């Protein structure tokens, strides 16, 4: 199993590389947003969500589909549980990202609205925890 | 054992990603407070140590890899370059010397991307 996990066909490498790069951008930008919102820098928080978190999610999710297609995982019946969990974490994350972006944008434009800032901060915290779960699932591939 | 090593190795790599993203935001003109930069630097400390120690542990744990494989030595070399550049950036920021900081940051970013390339393609493995 260890050997199987470590060796893969060469043509899976590019989508895997793009997938990890997108996920790293996503998580890094989420951490930046958390720091910015915690120190009440709403402008930086909003820009990081818009130019870091959202593109990171798109790259991560798009390349997840790409590599799943290469590996034929979507054609397997039943779909492996680690793939299912990955989708179950990634897809609702987009909704949370969009809500956090709207909350931060509104709070930034009003220059007040601590409730919106705190809401966005909680959502970003949930997204960071979800990211750790996704990384665990992708690395351990539980069946 | 392998699964946990790989998981913690990946978490460490993501911490390096946090540092790179925060410094990239600064390079693009964002103003951040000292607390955010402190967090970014500690992420590199923990992530850097984690990737190195757990990466070597993984290489020793798996039969098909050897510590002296070219891609592993290359990764250690890139890790040293990236960490050295990061330390230089921190030193220069501390004394207010801003020249070349952005260049050093982007070189560190390239080194991290190079590390990821080596980890995924594992040339020569």
Q: Which parts of chain B register pLDDT below 70?
A: none
**Mean pLDDT over the full length of chain B:** 91
Q: How confident is the model at residue A6 (pLDDT cuts 50, 70, 90)?
A: low
State both tokens at B115: 């590390």
Q: Cα separation of B121 and B124, whole Å?
A: 9
Task: Say yes or no: A48 contacts chain B, CB-CB below 8 A.
Answer: yes
Average pLDDT, chain A: 89
- Using one digit for the tens of pLDDT, what is the confidence trace for B81-98? 999 999 999 888 888 777
The number of angstroms, rounded, from the C-alpha of A84 to the middle of its chain's C-alpha atoms is 15
Report pLDDT for A120.
96
For residue B49, what pLDDT is reported?
A: 96
pLDDT (mean) for A118-137? 96
Per mean pLDDT, which of A7-21, A25-39, A97-111, B62-76 is the most reliable?
A25-39
Which pLDDT belongs to residue A91?
94
Give the model's confidence band at A36: pLDDT under 50 very low, under 70 low, under 90 confident, else very high: very high
- The whole-number average pLDDT for the span A107-119 is 85
Q: Whole-prediction pTM value?
A: 0.92
Residue numbers in A near B62 (CB within 8 A)? 2-3, 6
State the average pLDDT over residues A13-20. Answer: 94
- Report DSSP letters for A30-93, one per residue: HHHHHHHHHTT-HHHHHHHIIIIIHHHHHHHHHHHHHHHHHHTGGGSSSPPHHHHHHHHHHHHH
Residue A139: which of B3, B22, B33 has the nearest Cβ? B3
ipTM metric = 0.92
CB A26 within 8 A of CB A60: yes
Predicted confidence (pLDDT) at residue A2 exceeds the cutoff of 50: no
With a cut of 70, say whether residue A111 has pLDDT above it: no
Q: Peptide bond before A18: cis, by omega within 30 degrees of 0?
A: no
Confidence of residue A4 (pLDDT cuts 50, 70, 90): very low
Q: Tell me whether residues B64 and A135 touch, CB distance under 8 A.
A: no
pLDDT tens string A40-85: 999 999 999 999 999 999 999 999 999 988 888 878 888 888 888 9
Distance between CA atoms of residues A104 and B61, nearest Å: 45
Predicted pLDDT of residue B123: 87
| Chain B interface, Cβ < 8 Å to A | 2-4, 6-7, 10-11, 13-14, 17-22, 25, 30-33, 35-36, 39, 43, 62-65, 113, 116-117, 120-121
Burial class (CB in 10 A: 0-12, 13-18, 19+), A9: exposed
For residue A35, the chain B residues in CB contact (below 8 A) are 22, 32, 35-36, 39
Q: To 5 degrees, how large is the angle CA A133–CA A139–CA B2?
A: 125
């Amino acid at each position: 199993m260890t050997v199987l996990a470590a060796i893969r066909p060469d043509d899976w490498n590019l989508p895997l590389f793009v997938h990890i790069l997108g996920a790293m951008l996503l998580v890094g930008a989420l951490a930046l947003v958390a720091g910015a919102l915690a120190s009440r820098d709403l402008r930086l928080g909003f820009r990081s969500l818009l130019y870091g978190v959202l593109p990171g999610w798109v790259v991560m999710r798009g390349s997840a589909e790409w590599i799943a297609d290469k590996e034929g995982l979507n054609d397997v019946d039943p779909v492996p549980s680690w793939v299912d969990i990955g989708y179950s974490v990634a897809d609702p994350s987009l909704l949370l990202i969009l809500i956090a972006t709207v909350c931060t944008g509104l709070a930034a434009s009003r220059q007040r609205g601590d409730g919106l800032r705190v809401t966005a901060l909680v959502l970003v915290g949930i997204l960071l925890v979800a990211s750790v779960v996704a990384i665990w699932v992708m690395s351990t591939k539980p069946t | 054992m392998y699964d946990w090593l790989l998981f913690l190795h990946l978490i460490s790599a993501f911490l390096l990603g946090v540092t790179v993203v925060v410094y990239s935001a600064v390079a693009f003109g964002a103003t951040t407070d000292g607390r955010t930069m402190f967090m970014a630097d500690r992420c590199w400390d923990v992530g850097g140590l984690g990737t190195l120690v757990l990466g070597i542990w993984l290489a020793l744990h798996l039969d098909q890899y050897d510590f002296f494989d070219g891609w592993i030595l290359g990764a250690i070399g890139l890790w040293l370059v990236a960490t050295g550049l990061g330390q230089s950036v921190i030193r220069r920021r501390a004394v207010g010397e801003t020249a070349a900081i952005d260049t050093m940051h982007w070189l560190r970013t390239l080194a991290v991307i190079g590390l990821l390339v080596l980890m995924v393609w594992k040339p020569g493995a």
